[in-house]
Amino acid sequence: MHLKCPHCSTVLNVTSPAGTQVQCPTCQGMFVVPQATPQVSAPVITPREPGSKPLRKKPQSKTEQAEGAEGAEGEEELESGGIPVDLILKIAKVVVLPMFLAVVLFFVLVSMGILEIGSGGDVVDDSPYVDDGVANSGNQIQDVMEAAEKGDIYINWVPAKNSATMEGFKVKINHIDWGEVRGRDESGELVTSNGRPYMNVYLELSNRSDKTFDFKSWYGNQFNSQNGAIRTAQLSDDDKNMYYPLKFDDLADLKWWTPSKTFKPAEEGTDAIVFDVPEDFDPNQVENLYLDLPGEAIGKSGSYRFKIPKSMIQGL
């Protein structure tokens, strides 16, 4: 029969007859089996006979103790509605840390000049700028600037810190130098402009397409447009003064100059242009320069057009 211990309320399965004294194995309390047996419903424990040794629980292993502790912590955290700290740390390690490292790497590449941000990939509009189809023909940079100011046409003057791309052929201004021209003649001897300063433009070139381009330098060369007009590289300022390209016949080699080259996909190169300016020209009075490079140098129409701030001019 089932009896409840009067000391600890543990339900016992008692087989001893009424009037017999038994001991509760839970609290070690002694009591006498009554005549009438009350009905109870609870977990049943078999009592020990008086004088017997108490039962010993099997000790838990360290693994079971650790699992039990973790389970208790987890239950406590779930019951309180909190988020486990371990889960937060795992999310930070798997998601947040890689994102942070990616951002750091991005800014490192930008600071090293490997990546360009902003409008660094400006695409050149190589279509005619007026309906009669004669735009981009002849040396008309002043006319183009005036028409753009009036709103008759739209000209995309690419900021000189960025690159411009025409059908996959990219051009970027590396730097502009106000100073003496220095190069070498056919015998390798140094040749200079004897201290006379000129405006020297140095360009980076690269083929970013799957096509091949036959390039001809903008330094000292003329190009024929589709309607037969002659075009050259052009340089102007905010006052629309025109500065013409110059070529030194006794120079066989000039820094960055590439007379001609076939650019295969992914190939890179450089070019240089020297612009003639009056002897009384003062570059410190210039706010911006405007560079027009004919697309005919790569066998295309249109122009690469750059706006160069005075801050990019070296040698001032």
Q: How far apart are CA 173 and CA 271, in angstroms?
A: 10
Structural domain that includes position 155: 121-314
| Among the ranges given (15-24, 125-134, 159-168, 272-281), the one the predictor scored with the smallest mean pLDDT | 125-134
Same domain, 274 and 302: yes
Question: Which of these three, 17, 40, 55, is where a domain ends?
Answer: 55
Same domain, 98 and 147: no
Q: Categorize the per-residue pLDDT at 52 as very low, low, confident or very high, splitting at 50, 70 and 90.
A: low
> Residue 279, Cβ neighbours under 10 Å: how many?
6
Q: Once rounded to an integer, what is the mean pLDDT over residues 57-67?
A: 56
Q: How far apart are CA 234 and CA 294, in angstroms?
A: 9
Domain-located, residue 40: yes
Q: What is the pLDDT of residue 70?
A: 53
> Residue 181, Cβ neighbours under 10 Å: how many?
20
Q: Pick the residue with more confidence: 217 or 20?
A: 217
Question: Which of these three, 115, 141, 162, is where a domain ends?
Answer: 115
Domain-located, residue 244: yes
Nearest-Å Rg of the Cα atoms of the chain is 45
Q: What is the pLDDT of residue 120?
A: 47
Domain-located, residue 68: no
Domain count, the chain: 3
Domain-located, residue 13: yes
Q: What is the pLDDT of residue 126?
A: 47
Same domain, 197 and 307: yes
Rounded to 5°, angle at Cα 228 from 226 and 232: 90
Same domain, 253 and 276: yes
pLDDT at 177 over 90: yes
Instruction: Give the tens place of pLDDT for each residue, 79-138.
Output: 455 567 777 777 777 777 788 888 887 776 655 544 444 444 555 544 433 333 444 456
Q: Once rounded to an integer, what is the mean pLDDT over residues 43-47?
A: 54
Same domain, 223 and 125: yes
Q: What is the pLDDT of residue 118?
A: 43
What proportion of the chain, given as a percentage, has pLDDT over 90?
A: 36
Same domain, 100 and 161: no
Report for 116-130, 208-222, 244-258: range of highest mean pLDDT = 208-222
Query: Helix, strand or coil for residue 133?
Result: coil
Rounded to 5°, angle at Cα 243 from 259 and 137: 70
Q: Categorize the per-residue pLDDT at 36 as very low, low, confident or very high, splitting at 50, 70 and 90.
A: low
What single DSSP character describes residue 255? T
Tokens of 80: 């309180």
With a CB cutoff of 8 Å and minimum separation 6, the contacts of 52 are 23
> What does the mean pLDDT of the chain come to?
78
Same domain, 275 and 164: yes
Tokens of 42: 């609870």
190-207/260-263 β-pairing? unpaired
| Among the ranges given (37-46, 60-69, 124-133, 217-226), the one the predictor scored with the smallest mean pLDDT | 124-133
Same domain, 161 and 212: yes
Q: What is the pLDDT of residue 109?
A: 61
Same domain, 108 and 173: no
Q: Categorize the per-residue pLDDT at 14 as very low, low, confident or very high, splitting at 50, 70 and 90.
A: confident
Query: Residue 165 phi/psi, 5° resolution?
Result: -125, 130
Q: Pick the residue with more confidence: 145 or 273?
A: 273
Q: How far apart are CA 125 and CA 204, in angstroms?
A: 20
Domain-located, residue 64: no
Same domain, 84 and 133: no
Contact 161, 117 (CB under 8 A): no
Q: What is the pLDDT of residue 298?
A: 96
Domain-located, residue 67: no
Q: What is 157-190 written as a DSSP string?
A: -EETTSEEEETTEEEEEEEEEEEEEEEE-TTS-E
Query: Helix, strand or coil for residue 269?
Result: strand
Domain-located, residue 3: yes
| Among the ranges given (4-13, 246-255, 263-272, 292-301), the one the predictor scored with the smallest mean pLDDT | 4-13
Contact 294, 126 (CB under 8 A): no
What single DSSP character describes residue 39? -
Rounded to 5°, angle at Cα 261 from 255 and 267: 90
Q: Categorize the per-residue pLDDT at 162 as very low, low, confident or very high, splitting at 50, 70 and 90.
A: very high
Q: Pick the residue with more confidence: 51 or 157?
A: 157
Instruction: Give the tens place of pLDDT for each residue, 281-297.
Output: 899 999 999 999 999 99
Question: Which of these three, 115, 142, 164, is where a domain ends?
Answer: 115
Q: Categorize the per-residue pLDDT at 39 as very low, low, confident or very high, splitting at 50, 70 and 90.
A: low
pLDDT at 60 over 90: no
Tokens of 229: 């007009």
Same domain, 284 and 155: yes
Cα–Cα nearest to 180, from 202, 196, 167: 196
Q: What is the pLDDT of residue 230?
A: 87
With a CB cutoff of 8 Å and minimum separation 6, the contacts of 3 are 11, 12, 14, 33, 34, 37, 38, 40
Domain-located, residue 74: no
The alpha-helical segments, DSSP class H, found in the chain are 62-80, 85-91, 97-111, 141-150
